[in-house]
Amino acid sequence: MSASGVVSFTQQGWEQVLAKVKRAVVYLDSACAESLHWGCGSTRLLEAVGGPDCHLREFEPDAVGGGAKQPKAVFVLSCLLKGRTVEILRDIICRSHFQYCVVVTAVSHAVHLTANHVPAAAAAEMEGQQPVFEQLEEKLCEWMGNMNYTAEVFHVPLLLAPVAPHFALTPAFASLFPLLPQDVHLLNSARLDKRKLGSLGDVDATALTTELLLQIRCLVSGLSSLCEHLGVREECFAVGSLSRVIAADLANYAPAKNRKKTAAGRASVVFVDRTLDLTGAVGHHGDNLVEKIISALPQLPGHTNDVMVNMIELTALQTEEENCNVVAPGCLAQSK
């Protein structure tokens, strides 16, 4: 994996977002905030927003709306624009005074078509069209209260959080976990008229829940975008039941067919179920400095892959409990 390619993939994505945020109220969900944290830092976003006030907010049901002097909003989201996410969008916009809304999603339009049960054949005929995003743009104008206001919805593959030159994480998929033997019983309970699964080895895409399949497709879409950025045609290998499903989905991902025909390079992508090495995956054995840091320090709030470093000791402040939040904590992503 090219170090410069992985970093530039993330930074290129964020540059597209930063181009839209000037003088805007910016709402980010946790996964996108973590990608920003490792990719280019919140300082870069604040500089792009400009102005004396800080207008960064967490995307959540209770998020503060925009005031009368805040006509522009940018929402940066890692998930599908569907269900509860759209409801939160609506509620924030309806209690605001926005006249210009931009929604950036890390999930491609092709996956949105899948989530809306559009058949593969029909989706193929829509190449170059984005009806799901266009419909949401109309809804945004409706929620802003004037169909002449401006709304934009587009996809940027904000998949990675590049922790090191050759090591990147996928914060949006922190909860994606391989199937366990007891999950076979749950899958069989939904297969009333189908052949029962004997073990995890029998699991394929048709046996999985719709929610899990969509989560896998979101990951596959992001990985395909990464391969496109790197200019490679991937060969997929898998060890484990869930990895086998993911590898097969990436290998057969329809929107990537043209890319694979023209890609100059080749890359091997190996998927491994972490349950095959569960002890190593969840244990911190103190064999290196990073493991000692992660096991000793508290987690940075809202993050899955960074820790909080108390910076009070570097100041003249007394280390009393009431002073603990006076100085922002340090973290691994910001070493200076």
pLDDT tens digits along 154-167: 999 999 999 888 88
Contact in structure between 202 and 40 (CB atoms under 8 Å): no
pLDDT tens digits along 90-136: 999 999 999 999 999 999 999 999 999 888 878 878 878 899 999 99
Mean pLDDT for 303-310 is: 84
> What crossing angle do the helices spanning 210-230 and 241-251 adopt, rounded to 10°?
50
CA 302, distance to chain mean position in Å, is 14
**Residue 107, pLDDT score:** 96
- Residue 271: exposure state from Cβ atoms within 10 A (0-12, 13-18, ≥19): buried
Instruction: Using CA atoms of 107, 173, 114, 12 in order, give the dihedral in degrees to the nearest 10.
Output: 20
Q: Report helix, strand and coil shares of the chain as percent, to nearest 5.
A: 45, 15, 40
pLDDT tens digits along 271-283: 999 888 766 655 6
Q: Tell me, which fold does domain 3-155 have in CATH?
A: Rossmann fold (3.40.50)
pLDDT tens digits along 229-257: 999 999 999 999 999 999 999 999 988 88
pTM of the model: 0.89
Q: At residue 288, does pLDDT exceed 80?
A: no
Q: Which residues is 169 bridged to in the sheet? A: 161
**Residue 283, pLDDT score:** 61
Q: At residue 50, does pLDDT exceed 70?
A: yes
Indicate the average pLDDT of the chain.
88
**Residue 322, pLDDT score:** 59
Residue 84 — pLDDT band, cuts 50, 70, 90? very high
Residue 29 — pLDDT band, cuts 50, 70, 90? very high
**Residue 292, pLDDT score:** 80
Tokens encoding 92? 């924030």
- CATH 3.40.50 domain residues, the chain: 3-155
Mean pLDDT for 17-27 is: 95
Residue that wins the pLDDT comparison between 315 and 46: 46
